[in-house]
Structure 1
Amino acid sequence: MSAMAGTQMMMPPQSLTAGMPDPATISKQKDAYMKMLDEQVKQGTVVLEAQVKHQKEYLLGQADQQKKQFIMQIDMEIKQQEMALDQQRMEQLMALQQQAAQQKAALEQQAMQLTMEYQQKKAEEEMQKQQFEMEKQQQDMQAKMQAEMAKFQGGAQLFTGIGMPGQ
């Protein structure tokens, strides 16, 4: 044993690469991980694009809704303004018609008054004509009577002058 003890047995050096993958395996694993990373990037890109697309659609939907609300609000304001204008027009039209009715009534009153004045003056005129005619007839009759009386008196004087010599 001593001989054995003196000489130790030599052992081969331990493998430093034991349990480690060889370069071909490393390359295979690297390619597999690269492929997996590429696939994850691709899937992530698809998910990201879908999210962005969804967010853009949401924004567009919100914008459309806001536009519709804004248009509806403007339409409502315009309708209110139109109603106010219609109301104002009706009030002005009523005032105009009322003024016209008042002016027509005043004109009617004035025409009636003028007609009555005319008829009164016409009646006075007729009475004056009748009175004139009556007075004229009376004058004519008086003149006729005077002429007749003058004839009669002149004839009577003739008769009295002829029948009385000595005068």
Structure 2
Amino acid sequence: MVILTNGTIITLVNLLTQECLDLSNGYSMDNTPVISYGCHYQANQQWTLFEQDSVGTWPVWSLINKATGSAMQLVDGPSPLIKGFQPAEDSAAAGQSWRLVSAEPDFELLMIQNTLTNTYATSLDDYVDGGRAIGGTTGNVETAQHRQLWRVTVVDAPL
């Protein structure tokens, strides 16, 4: 069973593509695409969880890239894509707040829900920076598409 706590470092592998959630090339510049890319498990494919709120069934987290310190952020708009930005003071308003919604009792398979839009991180068919773009699309746990499901692995956890 996977146990997620504040400061846990994880990797996320898309169930459909078998590619890892990756901050493209480990760039620290704002607006860097978050993509799904072949797993190599280096720091730009590792995400540190920082709990923002623990009210309700699923806590709300910031996902911070281990290589750069960039926060995973949904850029809302006509084609909502997920990119890396410097952490915002008001992370919820900035689209940097996420629920990791379990799709299995052991919490190893989950959906990544943005709290600003209530959409889910989805591996898209569009390519950017050598990997598949990740966008926010509608969905729910009961009818989850494989492109919206992510297998979580704990890389490191606080004692």
Larger Rg: 1
By relative contact order (CA 8 Å, sep 6+), the higher-ranking structure is 2
TM-score (norm 2): 0.11
Structure with more of its chain in strand, by fraction? 2
Structure with more of its chain in helix, by fraction? 1
TM-score (norm 1): 0.10
